[in-house]
C-alpha cells in the first residue's frame, strides 16, 4: 500500500517541462497496489477478530489438545493438521474460515511454513505471546515511580544520557510535526509525508523509552 502511494506521488509530481511525463501504467499499478494494501488490512482485521472469537470459544488446553489429537488421528497426519482438517477443527468451536481467511490463519500460526499446524504451534497461539506475561510481571512488581521534576532535580541528572536523548527528541518532535504539515498541506508530497511520519513515530518512541517517568510509564510498557 505504501509503495502504491509513493508510485502515485511520483506520477502526480511529474513535470513535462523537464522531460518527466506521466506514465499511465505507473498510475494504474500504483492504484492497484493501494487497493491490495487496503484489502489486506481489512482481511487481516477480520481474521484477527475471528481468531479472538475462536480462542474465547475454546475450553481448557487439555481438552483442546485431546480434540486436536483425535482430529490428527482421523486425518492420518501425525505431524499436525493441514488447512482442510484445521478448518473442520475450528468449525467444532462454531467458528468457520473460508479458504482465503485460512491462508491468513496459517500465516499467523504456521511458523515452520510447512503447510501444517502442529501441536506446538497451536499451543503457542493458545497460551498467547510472551509480551502479555511480561506486562503482568511488570505490573505485579511495582517499584518506586520516578517523577519528571524529581528526575531533573536529582544530583546525577546531568550524567544521565537519557536526559540528553529526551531533550533531543523533544526538539525534533515539533520540527517533524511542522514538516509533516507543510508536506501535507502546502506541497502535498506523499513521499515526504510518509518519511516524516516514520521519523516522527520513531522520535516519539525514543522519547517514551528515554523519559521513563510517571507521565509516560503507562505508555512505555506497550512498547
**pLDDT digits 0-9 by tens, 87-101:** 999 999 999 999 889
What is the average pLDDT value for the chain, to the nearest integer?
74
**In the prediction, which pLDDT does 93 show?**
92
Q: In this predicted model, which residue has the larger pLDDT, 175 or 206?
A: 175
This prediction's pTM: 0.54
- Geometric angle at alpha carbon 177, from 174 and 180, rounded to 5°: 150
pLDDT tier at 14, thresholds 50, 70, 90: very low
Task: Please state the rounded mean pLDDT for residues 139-148.
Answer: 57
Does 136 have pLDDT greater than 60?
Answer: no
Say which residues have a Cβ less than 8 Å from residue 220's Cβ, sequence separation at least 6: 208, 209, 212
pLDDT tier at 39, thresholds 50, 70, 90: confident
**In the prediction, which pLDDT does 195 show?**
74
Whole-number Å distance between alpha carbons of 5 and 32 = 10
Q: In this predicted model, which residue has the larger pLDDT, 83 or 6?
A: 83
Residue 104 neighbours by CB distance under 10 Å: 19
Q: How far is CA 75 from the centre of its chain?
A: 34
Query: Cα separations (Å) of 89 from 72, 80, 139, 187?
Result: 10, 11, 36, 53
**In the prediction, which pLDDT does 117 show?**
92
What's the chain's Rg over C-alpha atoms? Answer: 25
Q: Environment class of residue 196 by beta-carbon count within 10 Å: exposed (0-12), middle (13-18) or buried (19+)?
A: buried
Q: In this predicted model, which residue has the larger pLDDT, 165 or 1?
A: 165
Q: In this predicted model, which residue has the larger pLDDT, 221 or 75?
A: 75
Q: In this predicted model, which residue has the larger pLDDT, 221 or 210?
A: 210
CA nearest 90: which of 79, 104, 76, 78? 104
The fraction of the chain above a pLDDT of 70, given in percent, is: 65
Task: Please state the rounded mean pLDDT for residues 179-184.
Answer: 79
**In the prediction, which pLDDT does 203 show?**
77
Q: Taking the CA atoms of 51, 57, 59 and 60 in sequence, report the sign of the dihedral they define.
A: positive
Task: Please state the rounded mean pLDDT for residues 120-129.
Answer: 84
Does 153 have pLDDT greater than 70?
Answer: yes
Q: Which of 125-129, 145-149, 173-177 has the lowest mean pLDDT?
A: 145-149
Task: Please state the rounded mean pLDDT for residues 177-189.
Answer: 78
Amino acid at each position: 500500500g505504501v509503495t502504491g502511494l509513493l508510485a502515485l506521488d511520483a506520477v502526480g509530481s511529474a513535470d513535462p517541462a523537464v522531460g518527466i511525463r506521466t506514465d499511465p501504467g505507473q498510475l494504474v499499478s500504483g492504484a492497484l497496489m493501494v487497493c491490495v494494501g487496503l484489502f489486506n488490512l481489512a482481511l487481516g482485521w477480520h481474521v484477527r477478530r475471528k481468531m479472538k472469537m475462536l480462542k474465547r470459544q475454546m475450553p481448557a488446553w487439555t481438552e483442546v489438545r485431546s480434540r486436536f489429537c483425535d482430529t490428527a488421528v482421523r486425518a492420518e497426519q501425525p505431524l499436525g493438521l493441514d488447512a482442510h482438517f484445521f478448518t473442520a477443527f475450528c468449525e467444532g468451536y462454531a467458528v468457520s474460515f473460508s479458504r482465503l481467511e485460512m491462508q491468513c490463519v496459517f500465516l499467523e500460526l504456521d511458523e515452520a511454513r510447512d503447510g501444517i499446524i502442529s501441536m506446538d504451534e497451536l499451543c503457542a497461539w493458545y497460551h498467547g505471546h510472551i509480551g502479555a506475561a511480561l506486562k503482568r510481571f511488570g505490573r505485579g512488581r511495582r517499584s518506586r515511580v520516578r517523577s519528571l521534576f524529581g528526575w531533573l532535580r536529582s544530583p546525577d541528572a546531568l550524567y544521565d544520557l537519557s536526559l540528553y536523548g529526551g531533550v533531543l527528541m523533544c526538539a525534533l518532535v515539533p520540527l517533524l510535526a511542522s514538516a509533516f504539515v507543510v508536506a501535507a498541506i502546502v506541497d502535498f508530497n506523499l513521499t515526504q509525508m510518509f518519511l516524516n511520519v516514520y521519523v516522527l513515530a520513531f522520535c516519539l518512541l525514543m522519547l517514551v523509552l528515554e523519559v521513563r517517568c510517571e507521565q509516560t510509564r503507562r505508555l512505555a510498557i506497550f512498547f
